[in-house]
Structure 1
């Protein structure tokens, strides 16, 4: 790989931006396509599909064999709420290669003993989330069931490019949440991004089952897009 391509690829990686290195297998020529440039690329559909799957591999285009090296940032899951569901979610999320971060200002809940080996912030969400830098490779879940904590966190998530935003609570609880967010200036389209009640509809009851339903919905949003996640619910 040429030094300039490697330098650009490393810069995209450091900035948590996706890119695809296109290599002509026979001729050896290479070019780098940043995610922001895909729409104008002649291979746009193929590149989008590879990014969606997060998978490198061989393709054919215009009679040429090309190898696509796909670079996507590690997917992060930011959870507001150091609750039982969050605890159950940790081992499952790790098995899915999700980088989990827990945020909860309630120091009685947000302890290293309850969340060993997990990045843990016992701070208010509106203080810590801007530092974490929510981006389009971040899934967000609000699980405290406390508007004083969840609402500012959801506001931060809705202002970001998070590919998934979910919130715990019944339909009645969410209706009140919608009214509060609308009063805070969020329009209908922004509020509609929130998956609530959170998780796939699998009849989940226990913390582990709820965690499973949430992670299933996150994977659907990641691999199928928002419409796919809606269809799976």
Structure 2
């Protein structure tokens, strides 16, 4: 790989922007496709598919055999609320390779004893979230049922282009939440991004079952094309 290309790739990775290095296996020629240039690339469908899956691999394009080396940021999960569902959700997300952070200003809930081996921030969202650099490769879930905590956290998530935003609560509860958020400047498009009630509708009852439904929905949002997501909803 040429030094300039390597420098560009390293810059994209440092900024948590995905990229694909395409290598022609016959002659070794390479080109780098950044996510900002994906839409105009002649191989955009194939590249988008591999980026969505986070998988490198061989493809054929015309008479060429190309190896796609995918560089995708590690997905992150920010959980607002150190509640029972969160205790079940953390190990599931970690087993899937997510970097997980739990935020809850209530120190009675946000204790290392309840959440061992996971970054735990016992601060209010306006203090805890900005340093986390929440971005497009972040899934964001609000689980406290407390508007004083969940609402400012969701307003922050709207600004950060998270690939998934979910919030606990019934449809009635979410309707009230939507009204509150709009009163604080949220747009209809922002509200529409919230998955609420959170999780896939699998009839989940216990905290562990709800955690499974949440992680399944997050996975679908990350991996499935939009049309397939709509069909599965």
Q: TM-score range by the shorter chain?
A: over 0.9
SS at match of 2:140: strand
Q: Quick check: 1:77 aligned with 2:77? A: yes
Pair 1:115–1:229, CA change in 2 (3 A) = farther
C-alpha displacement of 1:184: 1.3
1:213 alignment counterpart: 213
2:129 alignment counterpart: 129
Pair 1:121–1:230, CA change in 2 (3 A) = farther
Describe the superposition over 1:45-89 as per-residue Cα deviations: whole angstroms up to 9, x where unpaired.
Answer: 111111111110111113111100000000000000001111111
1:138 alignment counterpart: 138
1:197 alignment counterpart: 197
TM-score for the superposition, normalised by structure 2: 0.96
C-alpha displacement of 1:229: 4.0
Q: Structure 2 CA distance, aligned partners of 1:206 and 1:3? A: 53
Q: Structure 2 CA distance, aligned partners of 1:225 and 1:78? A: 23
1:180 alignment counterpart: 180
- Asked if structure 2 preserves the Cα contact closer than 8 Å seen for 1:57 and 1:67, the reply is yes
| CA RMSD after TM alignment | 1.2
Pair 1:228–1:109, CA change in 2 (3 A) = farther
Structure 1 stretches lacking a partner, 5+ long: none
Describe the superposition over 1:150-197 as per-residue Cα deviations: whole angstroms up to 9, x where unpaired.
Answer: 000000111211000000011111110011011112121110100001
1:160 alignment counterpart: 160
2:37 alignment counterpart: 37
Alignment of 1:9-20 (within 5 A): 9-20=9-20
TM-score for the superposition, normalised by structure 1: 0.96
C-alpha displacement of 1:134: 1.3
Q: Report which stretch shifted further, 149-158 or 42-51.
A: 42-51
Question: Size of the alignment, in residue pairs?
Answer: 233
Q: Structure 2 CA distance, aligned partners of 1:155 and 1:147? A: 11
- Asked if structure 2 preserves the Cα contact closer than 8 Å seen for 1:200 and 1:232, the reply is no
Structure 2 stretches lacking a partner, 5+ long: none
Q: Quick check: 1:28 aligned with 2:48? A: no
SS at match of 2:87: helix
Q: Structure 2 CA distance, aligned partners of 1:186 and 1:175? A: 13
Q: Structure 2 CA distance, aligned partners of 1:228 and 1:170? A: 25
